[in-house]
Structure 1
């Protein structure tokens, strides 16, 4: 059988590039440590050992990162696991240097260590981040993509294809679909060709040169069939991934526990109360209070701009629903004409949103200054007051209106078990461009899987989303 070219040809140059960046960053860090510690005596004989160490440490660093999984394909390009493994490798390197210096009785200068070792990690993380962003830009143009053959029902395959197209930075392109026997007569799904039934998956992946076969949750692909498929894919080195129905909501809370010889998935309950919640609340309030102090000059300028545009108050107050269904007053900078709420009923027929929200791309009530504030989400800044008061979090589901909550179904009300946030997964995934169903899915995913690490990751990504101004209207 003729096989197509492998779609992961980009991977080897990418990994070699990471190795080069790690070497360059580590060499820069070690030489900087030498220069800082011995800035007045670089030519002295006592400095020579540190120059040798500075040349050896970058090679040792690459070995440690490699052993820690920092170059493994599954961690590259998306997620925080790559960065976590680099940070762990840095901690191991520091411990190894300390133990090694003690073992050979070498009095290693603390000034050198305090500069060089942290700088190695920081430079590696920074350079990897820059390289990842360059990879994402290439992926937006269709390069550096991995081919995927999807095995599952048509509806689930269609959903996965759309998600990969919407989130192209993941680098996954569906190049073929294998359906159950009763659906295999379909010619294509979402423009992707159907290559046969479940039993044809391995041959289909070889035919199109796919890197991965993704099996979606379906009863036909039980343990026996998956094992057979894995054996077939092993011959060509094609990856096999399995998407459990639990992954959408409870992915980070699942662990595999062997019971009676069976690998059972155990699902932990989401942590909605307890110590981690107290830490999150303290982090939110402290960060919001600091932000209010630092941004106070900007608040003054924005107030003057809003007031200069036809008068009226600078702030807009509105009732929203928070945790447990409790109502509170949210604060925002005013972006619409005075009395805009009374005009909403007249504009309702022009609503462009598919759910309970009211959204218009060219809302006539929005002022010129207000449109600018909305584009960069500056109108949301006064919600820092709500965070300090404990009514909102920095990260969480979108704060809904009471009339929206009145239309919630049972599942959607799950959003109300946590505090609403100034930003969230909905903010970094498209903002107003998202459908109602997608907004709910992202909010529920956050509620079920929140963590302080996820919050920090979302806050970091919010800057990019705000600067682009995508989906803001």
Structure 2
């Protein structure tokens, strides 16, 4: 294969794009701060009005007189704590659950600071107002961050607020990494060039090969990159990285290192430096923690509320199914649960009553690997198409959750026929309870290839965190209402 050296984009064009990116980064942070300020102010105002009008917490007395003078200080302390806690750091925004954790911790810290300060100053701050302000304000801040993240991702998909990057490393690693960035456009990285020791390798998406890793400084100048991403195989010797870092000291480009370890959540990784050597301490897989009382208690509470709230919709669905063909309302299918235990997974019936017999007559399907999927399955009824589109057919699984056979969030419940053909680490999907929703649900549902669905399930099992469950449930609503991948 001949040498492939593709010219980089013109310098003036890149400079304009990069100035826009730099301004965009500050715009995101300032917009987030403004949104947080509005939400905190509204939450405190609402808490004060509720306390003044509700007698549930006792006589209102002179609550307004005591709270109003310190309202600005209350709001200011909350915002300053958010800033001091790093809630507006660029590296936290747009991906992962750390941003939400920082906001939640900052809110708890604010409550502690204000509570202790009021006690030491012997100031009669209304305890009911204090309680209501944080009960309303903290979820409001988290919801605001979620919505702002959606706006940021949408802007990146449209080509705005993107970061031009150079990718350095082994050509095969560069190829794999660039494919991920090309597919996941919400990340916001545009590869403007690559540096590799094997300059004769043709990279995908017409990525310009600008030389070897030792040419990084000139490549940054030529391409106008705002970040340099180092993959495996970037340097022959460890000290080469420090040499390059010194060369780039006066440049505005960030240095990002992608370790050879993959499929690890940031919550499992801790870094410390000993004798100048960075050490990554990786926590053990989290499958055991995913089965403990916190997750189970949350499942029981939410599933119970869900059954009560969804009961009218479930009744209407049951009547519609019965009216269409007079067949059974509930479809029971044997699935494999935690540790290989079999259980009857419940669903509203969305297919004709002889669906299993008709399946034998279908020659091909749209699923990959072990999955059987048809985008236009002739066995699906008219009612079935509607309830599948919005995942209403899965509501009876709330009963499976109460029985302890499933969880709100987890891997996709597997069929016995699928499990019997599992190879290698795929069986680790059975280390936790299967879920009503999961990473597979919010990442494409039936549109996902088998290998990608397995990868997401294994990532969830090994990196379980309660905050991640909350994030998946929030993303589930969007996936359901958009009907993406539902058939």
| TM-score normalised according to structure 2 size | 0.86
1:165-210 CA-to-partner distances (Å, cap 9, x unmatched) read 333333233332222x22x124542333233222233433343333
Query: Which residue, out of 171, 177, 188, partners 1:171?
Result: 188
Whether 1:243 and 2:271 are equivalent positions in the alignment is no
Match of 1:399 in 2: 413
Match of 1:95 in 2: 112
Ranges in structure 1 where 5+ consecutive residues have no aligned partner: none
C-alpha distance in structure 2 between counterparts of 1:231 and 1:445, whole Å? 36
Following superposition, the deviation at residue 443 of structure 1 comes to 0.9
1:112/1:154 CA distance change after superposition, 3 Å: same
8 Å contact from structure 1 (residues 214, 242) kept in 2 = yes
8 Å contact from structure 2 (residues 290, 465) kept in 1 = no
C-alpha distance in structure 2 between counterparts of 1:46 and 1:457, whole Å? 37
C-alpha distance in structure 2 between counterparts of 1:407 and 1:98, whole Å? 58
Following superposition, the deviation at residue 46 of structure 1 comes to 9.7
Following superposition, the deviation at residue 45 of structure 1 comes to 11
1:248/1:368 CA distance change after superposition, 3 Å: same
8 Å contact from structure 2 (residues 335, 415) kept in 1 = yes
Following superposition, the deviation at residue 335 of structure 1 comes to 1.3
Match of 1:21 in 2: 35
8 Å contact from structure 2 (residues 171, 201) kept in 1 = no
Give the SS at the match of 1:309. Answer: helix
Whether 1:295 and 2:310 are equivalent positions in the alignment is yes
Whether 1:139 and 2:153 are equivalent positions in the alignment is no
Following superposition, the deviation at residue 252 of structure 1 comes to 3.3
Query: Which residue, out of 315, 321, 325, partners 1:306?
Result: 321
Q: Which deviates more from structure 2 when the two are superposed, residues 387-396 or residues 126-135?
A: 126-135
The higher relative CO (CA closer than 8 Å, separation ≥ 6) is in 2
Following superposition, the deviation at residue 272 of structure 1 comes to 3.1
C-alpha distance in structure 2 between counterparts of 1:46 and 1:369, whole Å? 55
Match of 1:464 in 2: 478
8 Å contact from structure 1 (residues 31, 51) kept in 2 = no
1:275/1:466 CA distance change after superposition, 3 Å: closer
C-alpha distance in structure 1 between counterparts of 2:177 and 2:22, whole Å? 20
C-alpha distance in structure 2 between counterparts of 1:287 and 1:333, whole Å? 20
Following superposition, the deviation at residue 462 of structure 1 comes to 0.8
Q: Which deviates more from structure 2 when the two are superposed, residues 147-156 or residues 422-431?
A: 147-156
Match of 2:462 in 1: 448
Query: Which residue, out of 330, 349, 355, partners 1:315?
Result: 330
8 Å contact from structure 1 (residues 376, 469) kept in 2 = yes
Match of 1:381 in 2: 395
Q: Which deviates more from structure 2 when the two are superposed, residues 369-378 or residues 199-208?
A: 199-208
Match of 1:367 in 2: 381
Match of 1:158 in 2: 175
Following superposition, the deviation at residue 347 of structure 1 comes to 1.5
1:19-48 CA-to-partner distances (Å, cap 9, x unmatched) read 2223333333444455555679xxx99967
Following superposition, the deviation at residue 351 of structure 1 comes to 1.7
Following superposition, the deviation at residue 411 of structure 1 comes to 2.1
Whether 1:54 and 2:71 are equivalent positions in the alignment is yes
8 Å contact from structure 2 (residues 101, 467) kept in 1 = no
8 Å contact from structure 1 (residues 250, 267) kept in 2 = no
Q: Which deviates more from structure 2 when the two are superposed, residues 433-442 or residues 48-57?
A: 48-57
C-alpha distance in structure 2 between counterparts of 1:430 and 1:272, whole Å? 24
Following superposition, the deviation at residue 119 of structure 1 comes to 4.4
C-alpha distance in structure 1 between counterparts of 2:465 and 2:307, whole Å? 24
C-alpha distance in structure 2 between counterparts of 1:321 and 1:309, whole Å? 31
C-alpha distance in structure 2 between counterparts of 1:430 and 1:271, whole Å? 24
C-alpha distance in structure 2 between counterparts of 1:127 and 1:420, whole Å? 30
Whether 1:421 and 2:435 are equivalent positions in the alignment is yes
Query: Which residue, out of 202, 205, 220, partners 1:205?
Result: 220
C-alpha distance in structure 2 between counterparts of 1:158 and 1:223, whole Å? 23
1:244-289 CA-to-partner distances (Å, cap 9, x unmatched) read 2223146532333555663332333223336962332333234323
Query: Which residue, out of 193, 207, 214, partners 1:192?
Result: 207
Following superposition, the deviation at residue 448 of structure 1 comes to 0.8
Considering only aligned residues, what root-mean-square deviation do their CA atoms show, in Å? 2.9
Match of 1:218 in 2: 233
Following superposition, the deviation at residue 50 of structure 1 comes to 4.6
1:409-450 CA-to-partner distances (Å, cap 9, x unmatched) read 112222122222121111111111111111111111111111
Query: Which residue, out of 341, 346, 352, partners 1:331?
Result: 346
Give the SS at the match of 2:414. Answer: coil
8 Å contact from structure 2 (residues 287, 464) kept in 1 = no
Following superposition, the deviation at residue 380 of structure 1 comes to 1.4
C-alpha distance in structure 2 between counterparts of 1:282 and 1:107, whole Å? 36
Match of 1:85 in 2: 102
Following superposition, the deviation at residue 2 of structure 1 comes to 4.8
8 Å contact from structure 2 (residues 270, 281) kept in 1 = yes
Following superposition, the deviation at residue 302 of structure 1 comes to 0.9
